[in-house]
Every structure is written in C-alpha cells, then in structure tokens.
C-alpha cells in the first residue's frame, strides 16, 4: 500500500488557493502506485491536530477540477499559528502522531510566511522523531511578501481586481466631477507591505491616464503633502482617485485606522484608513468624496482572476507533489522569473530556512520619488502577473462554484489535549 499525503490551507484564503489544491490532488491521483489517498485538514492545520482529516479520494474528478475556478478555501483554513518548538513541541509531535496513525508520508502546506515556518518545524520534528515525512510548502498569499519566490500565487488576481476596480471607478468619478463627487478613495489590503497598493497603480496607463494618488504602508502619511497633491489634481484634472493601504501609518508609525484623524473639532474619527483620508479631503478641501472598501471582495474575486495567477497556483501544487516524489523535503516551491516581456517563468525550490521568518518587501525603487505612485520598474514587475483572463463557468448569469462533500475519515487516536 502506498503512503498517504496530507494537504492543508493556511491563513487568509485567495481566489486561487483551490487551484493549488487541485494541482496537489490531481497530481497525486496520477501517481497511484506512490501515493495512496490525499487527506485534507479540515480548517487547516487544526484539522491535523484534531485528527479531522477529509478524504479527498471521495470527491469526483470533476469536483476537483472545478476547484481551479472556485475561490475561498475548499477545506477550510485557519489563522492558528504554531509557535516555537519550546512552547508547542507537543503540537508538533501530535502532528507526527496523526501522520503516523494514517500512514501519511507527504505533508503539503499551502500558506504564507507563518506556515512556511510551521512546515520547516514539522520537517525537523518528524526527522528528530525518526518519522520519514516529506514536507513541502506550497506558496500562497495575496500580500506577495513571501521570501524566496519572485511572486506569490494569490497576488496576481488581487492585483488585477484592484487595478480594474480603480480604473472603472475612475471613469465613473470623472463623469460626476464637474458638480458632484471629485475624489474617489479605494482602500485595499496589505497591512504591512504595499504590493497591492502598488498594483492599484496599473489602473493608470498611457491609454487610461488617471489622476491617481497612492498611499503606501511603507511611506508615512504626510497630511499636508497629501492634501496639496489631491488639491492640485482636482484643480488641474477635475478629479482625483486615491488608492490607500489599510496599513497606512502616520509619522510615528501608528496605523491611521487605529489612531484616527482629528476632525475640525478635535474629535477622533474612527474607521479604516480609506475612510479617514476621504473624510480629511472633505473636511480640509471641501470636496465631495466617495469611498469604497473592497475587503474580501478583492481576494475572492475569482470572476476576475489573472490567468497567469491561476496557472501558477496550479503549477506550484503540482510541483510540490513531484518534488516530494523526487525525495525533496523542507523546501518551498518557488516561482522564478525568466524574462519580463515576453513574460517567462519556471518553478524552483527554495530551502524553507531561506523562507521562514523572512519577508519579501516592496522595493523602494518601485515607489516613485514623491511617494505617491509607482515607477516604471514596478510596472515591469507587476504587469505580467495580472495578464490573461481565467476560464469561468456561469450558470444563470452568476459564476458557478463547487462545494466539496468533505467527508472525514475515521479517527484512530485519542483527542489531543494541548
């Protein structure tokens, strides 16, 4: 009997994380003599700790294929972070116990920075316990901040969504600006890194020149300079669009969303960073504004996913299985850029020691000198990642997505008590 595999989704989900799941499961199914069943953790790694393992072999091939076009996390995810070995050794050992009980020899963990760290520790603990386990990290994060890879599956689709949304809203506000709304503010995700904020900049190009201001989490918010810029754009172009990171901070490093700006009466105005700067524009410049908060819409918008992103998400899942079958362990599958234009990429492997607890920061050279826009280098990097429209199935005018049966296998161990 071939050994089984375990797959889990970790952290915030994306429009394409299920494509990685499909890549793992379909590739495993193609190697029935080497891999038995693929179990998925219900609600991520928590499912492994609780021995709540979903038997993906009970899903039809058509359902697994439909994962490629279904957003969210098909098996559930979690934000539970395993801590260091000193503190959480029992958890790591429990994982190995569960894997041993179900003859799981392959561990595919689909997540961001934290899960790369977890994956590395599981590899070490299983080795120290003498249990052979191939631990492969499958990259995923809309934030694009994973080290060791040119880009992360999940990011390209968010980038395409926020850039498209800003361009469309800009056409709207431009129509209304002569006598109504003059400033449009879109708040986007990316609390600690401005990759998504930078992607908003793609909305503005030669064929669609927009009066756009970006507020990056990397650039401390300078109220006076910001207001001057907005005012200038409204005066010269008639309107202004503002893309704001949810993680915008003031000069002292505090999040605007936590501290609040003060209104004319000195009262703190609570709300997200986008709402804050929108109100500021109204209160100080007197412009009517509209304000959108994309929130989950941006990371679940499978209907507007980037084809490149979907393909890469699937490919890293497929390659994770192949790497495990080659005997690799403690690595993350990475995306390597071969050329910008035409865009060419290939897959690689990076030791998890080079991924865990590191961060792929937005280069300062991607932010324009004035701090309010992106550079040509940023465009060159970002542009290929939003390219292509991914296939979708519509039923009754709406995207048709799949829900799996998600049947658990029988437990063999006593409940875990941490």
Residues with catalytic roles: 143
Using CB under 8 A as the binding rule, whether residue 154 contacts its own copies is answered as no
Provide φ and ψ at 227, rounded to 5°: -65, -40
Element (H, E) at 36: strand 35-41
Q: Pick the closer one to its own copies by CB: 167 or 249.
A: 167
Q: How many CB atoms sit inside 10 A of residue 270's CB?
A: 12
Among all chains, which residue has been given the structure tokens 């991520």? 44
Smallest gap from residue 132 Cβ to its own copies (A): 30
Smallest gap from residue 103 Cβ to its own copies (A): 26
Site string for its own copies, 320-339 (x = CB under 8 A): --------------------
Using CB under 8 A as the binding rule, whether residue 153 contacts its own copies is answered as no
- Select the residue interacting with its own copies from 254, 262, 387, 412 (CB under 8 A): 387
CA dist list (Å): 361 to 196, 287, 410? 12, 34, 43
- Select the residue interacting with its own copies from 400, 405, 407, 413 (CB under 8 A): 400
Alpha helix locations (H) across 102-154? 113-128
Using CB under 8 A as the binding rule, whether residue 10 contacts its own copies is answered as no
Smallest gap from residue 111 Cβ to its own copies (A): 12
Asked whether the beta carbons of 15 and 71 are under 8 A apart, the reply is yes
- Select the residue interacting with its own copies from 399, 406, 408, 409 (CB under 8 A): 399
**Neighbour-count burial of 326, counting CB atoms closer than 10 A to its CB (0-12 exposed, 13-18 middle, 19+ buried):** exposed
Report which DSSP code applies to 205: B
Provide φ and ψ at 367, rounded to 5°: -100, 135
- Select the residue interacting with its own copies from 43, 59, 117, 311 (CB under 8 A): 43
Asked whether the beta carbons of 221 and 278 are under 8 A apart, the reply is no
- Select the residue interacting with its own copies from 152, 304, 350, 378 (CB under 8 A): 304
Site string for its own copies, 159-178 (x = CB under 8 A): -x--xxx-xxxxxxxxxxxx
Using CB under 8 A as the binding rule, whether residue 264 contacts its own copies is answered as no
- Select the residue interacting with its own copies from 21, 23, 27, 76 (CB under 8 A): 76
- Select the residue interacting with its own copies from 203, 277, 333, 367 (CB under 8 A): 203
Asked whether the beta carbons of 193 and 144 are under 8 A apart, the reply is yes
Q: How many residues at the interface with its own copies, by CB under 8 A?
A: 73
Which residues lie closer than 8 Å to 257 by C-beta, 6 or more apart?
246, 248, 271, 272, 273, 276
Torsion of CA 254, 159, 16, 332, to 10 degrees: -70
Smallest gap from residue 282 Cβ to its own copies (A): 13
Cα angle 291, 296, 302; round to 5? 115
Q: Pick the closer one to its own copies by CB: 43 or 117.
A: 43
Residue 205 bridge partners (DSSP): 208
Using CB under 8 A as the binding rule, whether residue 311 contacts its own copies is answered as no
Q: Give the integer Cα–Cα distance in Å for 27 and 32.
A: 9
Smallest gap from residue 268 Cβ to its own copies (A): 11
Using CB under 8 A as the binding rule, whether residue 287 contacts its own copies is answered as no
Q: Pick the closer one to its own copies by CB: 164 or 408.
A: 164
Closest to 330 (Cα-Cα) out of 129, 132, 122, 128: 122
Q: Pick the closer one to its own copies by CB: 76 or 153.
A: 76
Site for its own copies in 218-247 (CB under 8 A): none
Asked whether the beta carbons of 380 and 300 are under 8 A apart, the reply is no
Using CB under 8 A as the binding rule, whether residue 73 contacts its own copies is answered as yes
- Select the residue interacting with its own copies from 30, 228, 254, 296 (CB under 8 A): 296
Smallest gap from residue 306 Cβ to its own copies (A): 6
Using CB under 8 A as the binding rule, whether residue 41 contacts its own copies is answered as no
- Select the residue interacting with its own copies from 225, 232, 364, 403 (CB under 8 A): 403
Token duo for residue 116: 């790369």
- Select the residue interacting with its own copies from 301, 316, 332, 335 (CB under 8 A): 301
Torsion of CA 159, 163, 190, 11, to 10 degrees: -40
- Cα–chain center distance at 254: 24
Using CB under 8 A as the binding rule, whether residue 72 contacts its own copies is answered as yes
Q: Pick the closer one to its own copies by CB: 291 or 349.
A: 291
């Amino acid at each position: 009997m071939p050994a089984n595999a375990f797959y889990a989704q970790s952290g915030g989900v994306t429009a394409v994380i299920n494509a990685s799941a499909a890549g793992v499961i379909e590739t495993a199914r193609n190697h029935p003599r080497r891999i038995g069943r693929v179990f998925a953790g219900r609600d991520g790694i928590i499912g492994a700790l609780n021995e709540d393992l979903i038997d993906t072999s009970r899903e039809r091939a058509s359902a697994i294929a439909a994962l490629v076009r279904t957003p969210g996390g098909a098996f559930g995810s979690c934000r539970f972070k395993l801590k260091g070995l000193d503190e959480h050794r029992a958890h790591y050992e429990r994982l190995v116990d569960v894997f041993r009980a179900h003859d799981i020899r392959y561990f595919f963990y689909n997540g961001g920075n934290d899960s790369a760290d977890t994956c590395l520790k599981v590899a070490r603990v299983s080795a120290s316990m003498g249990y052979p386990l191939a631990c492969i990290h499958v990259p995923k994060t809309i934030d694009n901040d994973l080290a060791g890879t040119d880009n992360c599956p999940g990011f390209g689709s968010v980038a395409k969504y926020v850039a498209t949304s800003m361009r469309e809203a800009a056409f709207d506000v431009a129509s209304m600006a002569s006598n109504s709304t003059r400033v449009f503010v879109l708040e986007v995700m990316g609390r600690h890194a401005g990759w998504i904020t930078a992607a908003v900049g793609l909305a503005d190009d030669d064929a669609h020149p927009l009066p756009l201001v970006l507020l990056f989490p990397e650039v401390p918010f300078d109220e006076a300079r910001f207001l001057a810029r907005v005012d200038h754009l409204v005066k010269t172009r008639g309107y202004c669009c503002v893309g704001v990171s949810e993680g915008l901070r003031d000069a002292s490093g505090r999040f605007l969303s936590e501290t609040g700006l003060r209104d004319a009466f000195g009262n703190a105005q609570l709300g997200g960073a986008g709402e804050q700067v929108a109100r500021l524009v109204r209160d100080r410049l007197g412009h009517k504004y509209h304000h959108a908060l994309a929130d989950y819409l941006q990371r679940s918008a499978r209907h507007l996913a980037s084809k490149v992103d979907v393909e890469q998400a699937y490919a890293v899942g497929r390659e994770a299985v192949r790497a495990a079958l080659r005997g690799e362990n403690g690595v993350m599958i990475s995306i390597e850029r071969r050329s910008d234009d035409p865009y060419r990429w290939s897959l690689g492997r990076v030791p998890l020691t080079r991924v865990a607890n590191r961060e792929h920061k937005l280069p300062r050279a991607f932010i324009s000198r004035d701090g309010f826009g992106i550079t040509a280098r940023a465009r060159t990097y970002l542009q290929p990642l939003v390219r292509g429209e991914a296939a979708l199935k519509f039923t009754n005018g709406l995207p048709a997505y799949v829900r799996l049966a998600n049947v658990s296998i029988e437990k063999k161990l006593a409940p875990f008590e941490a």
